[in-house]
Chains A and B, each alone.
Chain A
Amino acid sequence: MEGIRYPKENTLYKKKEYTQIGQSKPRIDGVSKATGAGKYCGDLKFPNMLYGKMLTSPHAHAKILSIDTSAAEKIPGVIKVITHKDVPSLKYGISPARWDENVLCIDKVRFVGDKVAAVACVDEETCYKALKAIKVEYEVLPAVLNYRTAMNEDMPQIHDEYPRNINTEIHQLFGDVDKALEEAYHVRTDVFEGQRTYQCPIEPHSAISIWKDNKLTVYSSTQSVHYFQYYIAREFGLKMGDVRVIRPLVGGGFGGKLEPTGLEFNGAVLSKLTGRPVKMFYDRAEMFAHNRGRHQGHYEITTGVTKEGKILAAKANFVLDGGAYTSLGIATAYYAGGLLPLTYDFENYQFDLMRMYTNLPACGAQRGHGAPQPKYAFESHLDNVARDLGIDPIEIRKRNARQPNTNTCNGMGIQSCHLTEALEKIETITDWKAKKEKGLPKGRGIGMATGSFVTGAGYPIYRNDYPSSSCMVRVNEDGTSATLYANAIDIGQGSDTVLCQMTAEAMGYRYENMKIVTGDTETAPLDFGAYSSRQTAYCGWACKRAGEEIKAKILETAGFMMHLPPEDLECEEGIIFSKSRPKVEPITFEEAAKKYFIIKGPLVGTGVYTVPRLGGYHKGAPVATSPSYSFCTQAAEVQVDEETGEVDVIHAWDVHDAGQIINPALMKGQVHGAFGMGISETIMEEVVFNKDGKIINPDVGGYRIITALDMPDFTNDLIPSNDEPATPWGLKEIGEGSNNPTMGAVRNAIYDAIGVNVASLPLSYEKVWRAIKEKKEKEQAAK
């Protein structure tokens, strides 16, 4: 075959080294993205397509008295106007324990931006005219805007079913916390505040619905075609098989695109009623209003430690602002405390939490789901404890570091863990000891923190018996390419690429000859999608198994062709050779694949992976379980301008225990991105509301995220390993654990620089400046 060079003598039998994984293969979607040829949902057009928009509430909390659509309906180009009377009244959500959202509000609105009506028009401009012409009469109600007082007796109730506005209440107790605190050498309590942040993907959400012949097709900017298919089918009483969900390219998600929105539900109704495709989309301000970003919270942490700094007990008492609806917030709430015992080993743990309803946009799952702010609180607190005891911050963490093959007090099993090595390495590469001994220049400080995250959630979002991931591989008839069919969703993190690498590795094939069909419920088999850093491990198992099936089939065929037993054959990079007979001429994968097709028909392999049962039996035990956990350490060196409070992160380091790396370039990209998002949240980001509950900065001018000028120089480092038995090739997650330590590391560096504790996020220039001013005034007064 042309292009294949046969080795004269078989030199291919060697100690097994990976040929397709562990390498920075170029992204499979790279060229289409670099040239602008790739299509995102908003780029798609269909013949006769209409444009749709939603009318949203201008009030945080109000009764809807009447809606008059007659004037809007008379505008030329307005094809359909709908209100709650035209849509199913079945409540939806993503956390099944609390379905609390309507396609269009029926009796009242619960935040500025809540869905009231929707229009379908011939073009976008007509939509805005139609929205203006809809007359809604409201009776404005007092609003709950402060989550800290939301449970007070005199507060209005937002949902009839939830007295005192309590959405989720958690009380978990492991071991004997009171006794341990009594016996502790030192007990300290700290309180920290987190802020509301928003995922702010650069691509706005959009959806195109086509309801035709009792079948519904939805193109959407989504992180999970399966959850969209399930929840859309449920809402309209359709069979899942009659709902097809397709994801074009997705321009970032970070958790905000995991659940269906009003765009899908209203678009479907508008398409059904008009018989035409309907494209709906959010603009930037509407994205902020839809939100589902990070919960703001109040975090009280108490630990009791020995004289040597060993943690005996920890108490976490949290309150979260959930906003008007549940979204993924129940999981967020359990994650908030569930993940804290991962990095440090302590036996006694109490976790109490209240997630409150407020008349603000709903919060959900943002990168690191529920964990980054509590971790910021814990890591800041631990630095305070270390200072009380006169122990170095890295040293106190070494004394408490999670060890391999241990269980957490809240029922999570950890197998591979290299946190101690990661602590040692960060100490070395930051030149930590020298900086601590000699001291840094004025205004300069260094801080660090640890992180960890699930390599995939142990349980699906709604209860079901399906496997976690599945896939199918079909080899082209002449063997020159193979197509992976998988519904793992590439939202930019590069899952399509690493899954093709892993499939090729398992097949003994070449990544360059792989194709992928993905993000379509009708052509690829079930996968729950992109969340909880699950895909590389879960769909990776499915790909490995499908690839191995192909390899077994092809070696059997090759055995006939080469007159050798299949057990004696191996296939690497598309070359099939004898392991024991170096002089037997190898054949190619292509030749064997073609022969297979001629004799047996399509060469197909399938793979499936189901997470084993994990975790304890207490209430909420499933959340934070995972087959495997990543670990990492991060450090940041900052320069604080004492005149202005400006914080400049000069350099940052990340040491990761991420197991076998599948694609080093993509791995680094995940760490850079997570750290970047982390410092952005630490220093600048905050969704701000006026006194009526309206967002005053719903744009990326007012809601500042880091630019290229703000990102520090960065060092990536690794603790190489592949000893995790629970994942394919011993890999671990990378995308979310990487922002688990960031806020704490930056906060600790700022403390180190100026010696003041700014206990609320973001650590904005203004807050830092005020803290420095207060400190100076105190020092003056003391003189």
Chain B
Amino acid sequence: MSNFIVDNNGIKRYLVTINVNGIEYTKVVKANTLLVNFLREELDLTGTKKGCELGDCGSCTVLLEGKPVNSCLILAIEADGMKVTTIEGVASTANLDNIQEKFLEYGAIQCGYCSAGMILSAKALLTENPKPTEEEVRAGISGNLCRCTGYINIIKAIMAASGQEVMN
């Protein structure tokens, strides 16, 4: 368990160090601080979206040690000492990541609110399974809800990002 101090109201505050997009941040958080709020409020990384705060919609998907998680279901203290990748860190250079490029090329983005979570789920999928079938792609993003696109162009974009031929 992380180090903690007790504030004037008797509430414990924990010292956590979380590596976000390659940078280590050490912050004082409450026990109930969610990872999504840690990212958005403490670090101003607002690319991670809040859609339901119940783990239903997938908008807040980030990679925790490379695995996609709903950051609204993870406490900041649970991520202490771990590596987190958010949409702001998905591209390792100033250029866009291949998945982001394909999302733009295939019209996979409309309102954009689910896009960050979608792209991170796709990233996790393609890292583990570089040549997924269409069914595997559908399953891989089935935890990310999109209300705009009907998913078709998102599926095409991910297939294209895996280097597979896609009818557009």
Q: Which residues of A does B touch, CB under 8 Å? A: 24, 26-27, 29-40, 42-43, 45, 199-204, 249-252, 254, 283-284, 491-494, 665-666, 668-669, 672-677, 699-701, 705-709, 711, 714
Contact = CB atoms under 8 A, between A and B. Distances in A.
A701 B103 contact: no
Interface string B48-79: 11111110110100000000000000000000
A252 B138 CA distance: 22
A709 B154 CA distance: 12
Nearest to A677: B147
Contact of B50 (A42, A493, A707): A42
Interface string B102-130: 01111101111111100100000000000
Interface centre among B107, B139, B142, B153 (most CB of A within 10 A): B107
A309 B104 CA distance: 47
A665 B152 contact: no
B150 A711 contact: yes
A34 B104 contact: yes
A708 B144 CA distance: 8
Contacts of A32: 112
Given A491-B111, A673-B110, A708-B155, A40 B49 contact: yes
The 9 closest A-B pairs by CB, nearest first: A36-B47, A492-B111, A676-B150, A33-B112, A251-B113, A672-B150, A36-B87, A43-B46, A665-B107
A224 to B, nearest CB: 16
Per DSSP, are chain B's interface residues mostly helix, strand or loop, or mixed? loop
B56 A676 contact: no
Contacts, number: 172
B151 interface: yes
A501 to B, nearest CB: 14
A36 B110 contact: no
A718 B148 CA distance: 21
A31 B97 CA distance: 11
Contacts of B12: none
Interface in B13-72: 40, 44-54, 56-57, 59
Interface in B139-168: 139, 141-155
Contacts of B139: 708-709
B147 A252 contact: yes
Given A36-B88, A707-B145, A708-B154, A284 B52 contact: yes
A36 B91 contact: no
Nearest to A39: B46
Nearest to B152: A672
A695 to B, nearest CB: 14
Contact of A251 (B111, B143, B144, B154): B111
A252 B111 contact: yes
Contact of B104 (A30, A199, A202): A30
A708 B54 contact: no
Contact of B109 (A30, A39, A201, A284): A30
A198 to B, nearest CB: 11
A278 B106 CA distance: 38
A199 B111 CA distance: 14
B33 to A, nearest CB: 10
A635 to B, nearest CB: 16
A254 B149 contact: no
A33 to B, nearest CB: 3
B13 to A, nearest CB: 14
A32 B149 CA distance: 18
B151 A250 contact: no
Nearest to A34: B100
B118 to A, nearest CB: 9
A676 B149 contact: yes
B150 A250 contact: no
A201 B115 contact: no
Contact of B148 (A34, A36, A492, A707): A492
Nearest to A672: B150
A34 B114 CA distance: 10
Contact of B110 (A42, A199, A493, A700): A493
A309 to B, nearest CB: 33
A284 B139 CA distance: 24
A42 B36 CA distance: 13
B149 A669 contact: yes
B11 to A, nearest CB: 11
Contacts of B143: 707
A700 B70 CA distance: 14
Nearest to B120: A36
Given A202-B147, A669-B110, A706-B150, 15 more contacts: A27-B107, A27-B109, A29-B112, A32-B112, A37-B47, A40-B49, A199-B147, A202-B145, A202-B146, A493-B148, A665-B106, A672-B151, A673-B149, A675-B150, A708-B144
Contact of B54 (A30, A40, A45, A701): A701
B5 interface: no
Contacts of B59: 202
A665 B152 CA distance: 12
Nearest to A43: B46
B88 A492 contact: no
B134 to A, nearest CB: 9
A711 B145 contact: no
A324 B63 CA distance: 43
Interface centre among A33, A673, A677 (most CB of B within 10 A): A33
B151 A711 contact: yes
A45 B57 CA distance: 24
A503 B34 CA distance: 45
A38 B119 CA distance: 15
A677 B114 CA distance: 16
B96 interface: yes
A492 B115 CA distance: 12
Given A34-B100, A669-B110, A254 B147 contact: yes
Contacts of B138: 707-709, 711
B147 A708 contact: no
A29 B139 CA distance: 28
Contact of A35 (B57, B96, B113, B152): B96
A24 B106 CA distance: 9
A575 to B, nearest CB: 27
Contacts of A40: 46, 49, 113
